[in-house]
Amino acid sequence: MDEDKRKSTTAIPADLQQIVNDHQLRALPGIKLLGWEPRFIRNQMFTAPILVLRNTRDGRLAILDEDGRLVMQDDLKQRADENEAPPPPDNLQYF
């Protein structure tokens, strides 16, 4: 999976409002306040595009469903981005 499959498209297009529905558009500002940022659009054949978000605090991934609800996705995979720091490990101990 070394080669980028997007073929010169960006992970989050500038026209995001053209891709998501009204429920999702209304939910995005509140979700961003909670630390979630759009990460990429998953496009699969014969299905609507799926907006994938990443929590900036702990690196968790979620999708924004058609009703504008955030749905956690533990099994979601993403391509490595060499410009981004890895999320913090789960086993951190705070003193």
pTM of the model: 0.67
Q: Give the DSSP H or E segment for 24.
A: helix 22-33
**Residue type at 61?**
L
Average pLDDT over residues 8-21: 77
Cβ 70 vs Cβ 64: under 8 Å: yes
> How high is the pLDDT of residue 95?
47
Residue with tokens 């659009």: 41
> How high is the pLDDT of residue 79?
55
Q: Would you say residue 93 has pLDDT above 90? A: no
> How high is the pLDDT of residue 80?
58
**Per mean pLDDT, which of 6-10, 49-53, 80-84, 87-91 is the most reliable?**
49-53
Of all residues in the chain, what percent carry a pLDDT higher than 70? 68
How far lies 39's CA from each of 17, 74, 88, in Å? 15, 15, 17
